[in-house]
Structures are given as C-alpha cells and as structure tokens.
Amino acid sequence: MSQEDKTAEEPQYIGLHNLKPAPGSKHARRRVGRGHGSGHGKTSGRGHKGFNSRAGGGVRPGYEGGQMPIYMRLGKLRGPNKKMSMPFGPFRTHTVGVNLARLADKFEAGAEVTPEALVEKGIIKNTKIPVKILGQGELGKALTVKANGFSKSAREKIEAAGGKAEVI
C-alpha cells in the first residue's frame, strides 16, 4: 500500500491547528483612494457629491426615498398591554364567545350544537370567526357541542350534564 493510500484512509480530525476558511470565501480588502490608476482613486468609488458621497452619509433604515414610509402609512394602536394594541390588522386572532346559558335556552336535549346550528338559531352572525363556548350559566340538558374552543368550566358543565364537548 502506498503512502497516498494511507493518508486517504486516515480520518481527518478538525482542530485549531488545521482550521482554515473555505476556498474562495475570503477576499482581499478593497483599497480605495490610492490614485486613479487603481480604478478606485479620487472619489473612492462613491461618485460625485450627494448624500452617499459624504462621510457619515447614507439614508437611515426605513427611508423610502421621500415616499411616505410604510411605518407611517399603517395604522397604529398605542400601548403594549391594551386589548386593541397588538397585533393589529389581518394578523389579529379572536373568537366569538357563546355562554352555556344561551345554548340551554335555544337547543333541545340531545341536539347537536355546531357553528352552523348557532347561525340558524341567531346566536352568532356567521361561521367565519371561530366559536368558543364559555361556562356562564347552567346546562341541564345533554348536548353534543362541536366548537373551535371550550373554557375549562364549560367543558366540565357539558360533560356533567351528560353531553360531549368536541373540538372542531
């Protein structure tokens, strides 16, 4: 077996003694302002005049060239801890709460309660917003309730009355 074959089979251990950057990942620093023969002399590649040619120049983050910036175009709701503050717009998530007392009034024993049934009975307006069943009121009937969410007390009361609480 030749010397080349031995080195090919031996595992290469990585250590501080043999670390080096990947080939082509390191480039020499561009030396600017060293005469026009270098191609980066005189104005050092910054062009003539203007904001970006000056020391300390350059636009701030979020500047859109004088166009009204996005952080000024969007509506704002102030404060970190108000119900309406964040998130706002299309990213806000919310549910429609329905109390057990409403279900006890509108549905017969053994009925199946779904978001579609709640719309038919006029309890909620539409099925676009998720429905959460809340535990206010008493439920004396066995109902099969299918909703997007349940409070802990609502689930306990539905099951105590002999019904089922199913998450959609």
Q: Which of 40 and 7 is assigned the larger pLDDT?
A: 40
Q: How far is Cα 144 from Cα 168, in angstroms, rounded to an integer?
A: 12
Q: Which of 89 and 64 is assigned the larger pLDDT?
A: 64
- Measuring CA to CA, how many Å separate 50 from each of 43, 47, 53, 56, 104? 12, 8, 6, 12, 73
Task: State pTM to two decimals.
Answer: 0.48
Q: Is residue 20 part of a domain?
A: no
Q: Is residue 121 part of a domain?
A: yes
The model's pLDDT over 104-137, given as tens digits with 9 standing for 90+, comes to: 989 998 899 999 999 999 999 999 999 999 999 9
Q: Is residue 62 part of a domain?
A: no
Range of the domain at 154: 96-167
The model's pLDDT over 8-59, given as tens digits with 9 standing for 90+, comes to: 567 778 899 989 999 999 999 999 999 999 999 999 999 999 899 999 989 9
pLDDT number for residue 76: 72
Q: How far is Cα 145 from Cα 103, in angstroms, rounded to an integer?
A: 9
Q: Is residue 150 part of a domain?
A: yes
Q: How far is Cα 47 from Cα 85, in angstroms, rounded to an integer?
A: 45
Q: How far is Cα 141 from Cα 110, in angstroms, rounded to an integer?
A: 7
Q: What is the CATH number of the domain that holds 100?
A: 3.100.10.10
Q: Is residue 122 part of a domain?
A: yes
Q: Is residue 87 part of a domain?
A: no
Q: Is residue 25 part of a domain?
A: no
Q: Is residue 37 part of a domain?
A: no
Instruction: For residue 146, give the nearest of 119, 117, 124, 123 by alpha carbon.
Output: 117
How many separate domains does the chain show? 1
Question: Once rounded to an integer, what is the mean pLDDT over residues 53-68?
Answer: 92
Contacts 24+ apart (CB under 8 A), 67-72: none
